[in-house]
A and B are shown apart, each in its own frame.
Chain A
Amino acid sequence: MSFELPSVTELEKMINALSDKEFNQIRTEYSAEVFYQEMKELQKRINKTYSNTITHNYITNSESSLDNKNFDSKNITPTNVDPLKESISTIKKNMQFNRKNDIFANSTTFVSSGFRKKTSLKLNEKGKAA
Chain B
Amino acid sequence: MEELKIQIPLFHVDTQKNNENFIMGGTLPPSLEDGDWAGKGVYFWDNLGNAQYWLKEKNRKNQKQKYNIVRTYLSVPANEVLDLTEPTEIRSFEESISTMQRMKLLDKKIGTKHKGAIINAYWKVLNSFGNATLFSVVKVIGYYPKINNSIYFKENDTQKNIQPYVTIKGKVIYAIRDLQVLSDNYRKIIEVKEERL
Residues of A participating in the B interface, judged by any CB pair closer than 8 Å: 1-6, 8, 11-12, 14-18, 22-23, 25-27, 29-31, 33-34, 36-37, 40, 96, 99
Contact = CB atoms under 8 A, between A and B. Distances in A.
Contact of B79 (A2, A17, A33): A2
Main secondary structure of the interface of A (DSSP, over half): helix
B124 A26 contact: yes
B40 to A, nearest CB: 9
A30 B121 CA distance: 6
Nearest to B95: A8
B100 A33 contact: no
A27 B105 CA distance: 6
22 contacts: A1-B78, A3-B81, A3-B82, A3-B83, A3-B135, A6-B126, A11-B99, A11-B100, A17-B128, A18-B125, A22-B128, A23-B105, A27-B106, A29-B120, A30-B106, A33-B35, A33-B117, A34-B107, A34-B110, A37-B35, A37-B36, A37-B114
Interface string B109-127: 0100010111011001110
A36 B103 contact: no
Interface of B: 4, 32-33, 35-36, 78-83, 86, 89, 92-93, 95-96, 99-100, 103-107, 110, 114, 116-118, 120-121, 124-126, 128-129, 132-133, 135, 139
Nearest to B91: A5
Nearest to A6: B132
Contact of A3 (B79, B117, B118, B121): B79
B89 A30 contact: no
A100 to B, nearest CB: 8
B99 to A, nearest CB: 5
Nearest to A96: B32
B100 A99 contact: no
A31 B106 CA distance: 8
